[in-house]
Amino acid sequence: MSECLRVGLIGAGVMGGHYVRVIENATDAAIAAVCDLDAGRAERLAARCEAARPYDAVASMLAEEKLDTAVVATPDFAHREPAVACLERGLAVLCEKPLAQTMADCRAITEAQRGSAAPLMVNYGNRHRANARHARDIIAEGHLGRPQYAYLRLNEKLSKTRELSWLARTSPTWFLLSHCTDLICWMLGERLHEVRARAGLGAVAEFAPGVPDLVIAQGATEAGTLINLESCWALPDGYAHEIDFFVQVLGTQGALQMDLFAHDLWVHTPARGGVRDYTMGVAGGSGHLMGWWPESVRYFLRCVASGEAPEPGPDEAARVSQALLAIERSWRTGQEVAVADVAD
């Protein structure tokens, strides 16, 4: 493997732009190719890189470029084909969350990874928040006693939701509750066992028929911890913050809570109060990008360079997708759904 990892980026949308910003800022990796079905969009994003060639087909990119790894930043429903193609070529893959929207796609990607010598990581970047990692340690060390209840909410503004070009093919479950579901299962070290969910139609359905404003899911883990998850992506545009992200865990001997926006650091002095926003990465004094999301990407690159298996891998991420499918099935049918029963 070359000293500087050559990265192929698949998907030149909003998330593709974030990946370019982080990887082009790294000293041990560089974007060598940008692929998107929209050739013009691939060309525009490639132009932001030091030496990247644009492509409009994954097959062409893989045939012509000598790559070490690939980033799959396509929409949720379009992960399978590029991920499988890259794994079959022996490339390490960093895939945007969730792994896939069907269990058939999850199985195809998982099987491709098992047949490859290369790893695949799904980028549930919230695992790299400093406060989330500290909270996970507190729970694991038993400082809260036995966890009894967890509450997570992740809400965003309607203006951001309206900008999503593939809005009709997703929902708050996939776009927002995916973060919540992975984060709480990882923090607790438990799997979601059963869920009962409800959805509310409103503003979003006016321009994406059938797509809800919000989804609320209640359930329990296999260990018996009660879980309450909620996500709304129709907050008023005048909402004071970009997002509303909150976590609370109650145990038999204690409790913890985190406001994840603003993200990592509040500072209060007698004269003033303020916050350092580490949303998707800010530049430090040396120009080095800081924050939880850049760290998640750099963690993957370090694992590829060292040969370490990054987490979460496809098996763990597939379990999250299975839980999300259970939530979707529950709010659509009005029935409680056992996660293990979801096979499609």
129-292+319-341 folds as Dihydrodipicolinate Reductase; domain 2 (3.30.360)
Answer CATH for 5-126+294-311 from 3.40.50.720, 3.40.50.300, 3.30.2130.10, 3.30.70.1150: 3.40.50.720
Place of tokens 């999503």: 164
Q: Which of 187-196, 241-250, 284-293 has the largest mean confidence?
A: 187-196
Query: What is the per-residue burial (b if ≥16 Cβ within 10 Å, else e) of 37-75?
Result: eeeebbbebbeebeebbbbbebeebbeebebbbbbbbbb
Dihedral, 124, 158, 326, 220 alpha carbons, nearest 10: 70
Output the pTM of the full model: 0.91
- Report d(CA 278, CA 292) in Å as an integer: 7
**What is the rounded distance in angstroms from the CA atom of residue 47 to the CA atom of residue 54?**
9
**CATH 3.30.360.10 domain span(s) along the chain:** 129-292+319-341
The CA-based diameter of the chain, rounded to the nearest angstrom, is 61
pLDDT tens for each residue of 63-91: 999 999 999 999 999 999 999 999 999 99
Distance of CA 296 to the CA centre of its chain: 10
List pLDDT tens digits, range 258-296. Answer: 888 755 444 444 555 555 554 555 545 555 556 888 999
> Distance between CA 282 and CA 153 in Å, rounded?
24
